[in-house]
Chain A
Amino acid sequence: MLAKICSALLIGFAKALTGARCVWKGCHPEPKQRIYYANHSSHADFVLIWAALPPKLRQQTRPVAASDYWSRTKLHRFMIHQMFRGVLVDRVRKEGSNPLEPMLNALGQGDSLIIFPEGTRNREEELLPFKSGLYNLAIAYPDVEIVPVWLDNLKRVMPKGHVIPLPVLCTLTVGEPIQVEENETRHEFLDRARASLIALGKGE
């Protein structure tokens, strides 16, 4: 109950501040199982994608987040578990464990995911190379749609090292789903996924 109220407040706040406008360019907001992947520049990124999704889709979409950051305090844990139903992953690789396992479990339960394949928040203008997680997930669940989402202006809402968010209109452009093609290597797929996200950002 508390989590629901907090979520509603946070969604309202995010929308009031940024407008959180979603432009469905390459697909429609249907309740299909999807992996939304996006460019990453601030902690607010997944909150905005999550807030901008229609409620029906939001309920089935879980952000993937770094477990070290989100396990720090009681408030962080409450937010990531109760409010966002986040999927926590270890950024540091441990012996004998598969870092993709939490994501595979979530996909197995029929949930959609929000992931940032650059692997880290990006301060540069250019998109960083993608980590291979996206490819492995796509291979394990070939029926899940891989959907690029370009986030515009998020960097201006909360520039590096500042805490007070600025009201700047943000647009999320949702592109056309991609899939791993026959005989496509990991490298080729990741490059193609990255290229289609960049194209989306340029308005192509």
Chain B
Amino acid sequence: MLSHDQDTFFLFCGIGAVLVLASAIGFLLKLFKGNTPVIANLNARINAWWCMVIVIGIAFWLGNTAVIVLFFIISFFALREFITITPTTSGDYYALVFAFYAALPLQYILVGMDWYGMYTIFIPVYVFLLLPMFASLSGTTKNFLERTAKVQWGLMITVYCISCVPALLTLNIKGFEGRNLLLIAFLVIVVQISDVLQYVFGKLFGKHKIAPNLSPSKTIEGFVGGIVSASLIGACLFWITPFSFVEAALIALMITLLGFMGGLVMSSIKRDCGIKDWGHMIEGHGGMLDRLDSVCFAAPIFFHVVRYWWG
């Protein structure tokens, strides 16, 4: 067994152990406190975590291509949720056909081809110019700017930003060859553990709301507890990354802060559209975007920071 295989193996064993512990706690809570809505939701969340970890685990085991395909599918679901929630009109038809059937697959093909110079500018530059061309073909001018912005935003958040996760596979880091999957694991674990810990600290100690208009569940106690503990966990994971302990702590702090702000921004969009969840795909969590809002904001910055200083 190669050393990185061993690291990945230990990592998944660790995640498995945490989930077993979580399931046990969930089971005991249900047993002693009864199946209240909060506990039922907690258990639904834990079960969904099992599914997510298993799916990601299988993709890791199958290799790089499977990981790219997995994130392509995730992007598809996320873009579908985004377009469903932000009302588009029949005038956007060609722009949407282009977004779903051309821009989305092309972005992932470019990532798969390792064409850095293209996949970093394809959506922000080329698609940015192409979409309004398609939209103007329909001849509808009502809310033109708003409509075009919605489709462009949807593609940026759900396709460009999410594709930065598998794009980590294309980085050439000295002394880290063949271990890039672990960078993805690091990013995903830190972002998600931060979400979970913010939720846990918020539920246990939360008193002072940060942005009551946006997200009633976000509290200062949850924020501080979640960010600090997730950064520490990130630091302790330095052995799977090319970073030192301190570097890993700082990068984890950056990831968690971005993730937190991403959650707030995506909440603002939801509030604007008058909805609570992006979808119903993952039981206990809402839609794909409810789970990924923080990843969307953390992934591109993490990608570029790692590439700039380590790549």
Q: Does A3 contact B (CB under 8 A)?
A: no
A159-B80 contact given A164-B101, A166-B96, A166-B100, CB 8 Å threshold:
no
Residue ID in chain B nearest A170 by CB atoms:
B84
Cβ contact within 8 Å between A166 and B93: yes
B97 partner residues in chain A, CB cutoff 8 A: 164, 166
Residue ID in chain A nearest B87 by CB atoms:
A156
Q: Does A167 contact B (CB under 8 A)?
A: yes
- Number of residues from A at the complex interface, CB < 8 A: 13
Q: Does B90 contact A (CB under 8 A)?
A: yes
Interface string of A148-187 (1 = CB under 8 A from B): 0000010110011010101111000000000000000000
Question: What's the least CB distance linking A4 to chain B, in Å?
Answer: 27
Q: Does A21 contact B (CB under 8 A)?
A: yes
Q: How far apart are the CA atoms of A11 and B96 in the complex, in Å?
A: 23
Q: How far apart are the CA atoms of A21 and B280 in the complex, in Å?
A: 9
Q: Does B81 contact A (CB under 8 A)?
A: yes
Question: What's the least CB distance linking B102 to chain A, in Å?
Answer: 11
B79 partner residues in chain A, CB cutoff 8 A: 167
Q: How far apart are the CA atoms of A107 and B97 in the complex, in Å?
A: 41
Interface size band for B: 10 to 19
Cβ contact within 8 Å between B90 and A169: no
Q: Does B170 contact A (CB under 8 A)?
A: no
Interface string of B80-108 (1 = CB under 8 A from A): 11011000101001001100110000000
Cβ contact within 8 Å between A162 and B93: yes
A167 partner residues in chain B, CB cutoff 8 A: 76, 79-80, 83, 100
Q: Does B225 contact A (CB under 8 A)?
A: no
B81 partner residues in chain A, CB cutoff 8 A: 169
Q: How far apart are the CA atoms of A29 and B84 in the complex, in Å?
A: 26
CB under 8 Å from chain A, chain B span 262-292: 279-281
Cβ contact within 8 Å between B84 and A153: yes
Residue ID in chain B nearest A18 by CB atoms:
B80
CB under 8 Å from chain A, chain B span 99-123: 100-101
Cβ contact within 8 Å between A160 and B90: yes
Question: What's the least CB distance linking A6 to chain B, in Å?
Answer: 23
Cβ contact within 8 Å between A159 and B84: no
B279 partner residues in chain A, CB cutoff 8 A: 19, 169
Cβ contact within 8 Å between A156 and B80: no
Q: How far apart are the CA atoms of A167 and B279 in the complex, in Å?
A: 14
A166 partner residues in chain B, CB cutoff 8 A: 83, 93, 96-97, 100
Cβ contact within 8 Å between B93 and A168: no
Q: How far apart are the CA atoms of A21 and B93 in the complex, in Å?
A: 23
A155 partner residues in chain B, CB cutoff 8 A: 90
Residue ID in chain A nearest B104 by CB atoms:
A167
CB under 8 Å from chain A, chain B span 232-255: none
B93 partner residues in chain A, CB cutoff 8 A: 159, 162, 166
A153 partner residues in chain B, CB cutoff 8 A: 84
Interface centre among B84, B88, B96 (most CB of A within 10 A): B84
Residue ID in chain A nearest B97 by CB atoms:
A164
Name B84's contact: one of A162, A164, A169 (CB within 8 Å). Answer: A169
Q: How far apart are the CA atoms of A19 and B101 in the complex, in Å?
A: 17
Besides the known contacts A21-B280, A166-B100, A167-B79, 19 further A-B residue pairs in the complex with CB atoms under 8 A apart: A19-B80, A19-B280, A19-B281, A153-B84, A156-B88, A159-B93, A160-B90, A164-B97, A164-B101, A166-B83, A166-B93, A166-B96, A166-B97, A167-B83, A168-B80, A168-B83, A168-B84, A169-B81, A169-B279
Chain A interfacial positions (CB closer than 8 Å to B): 19, 21, 153, 155-156, 159-160, 162, 164, 166-169
28 contacts between A and B (CB under 8 A): A19-B80, A19-B281, A21-B280, A153-B84, A155-B90, A156-B88, A156-B90, A159-B90, A159-B93, A160-B90, A162-B93, A164-B97, A164-B101, A166-B83, A166-B96, A166-B97, A166-B100, A167-B76, A167-B79, A167-B80, A167-B83, A168-B80, A168-B83, A168-B84, A169-B80, A169-B81, A169-B84, A169-B279
Across the A-B interface, the 3 shortest Cβ-Cβ residue pairs: A159-B90, A169-B84, A167-B80
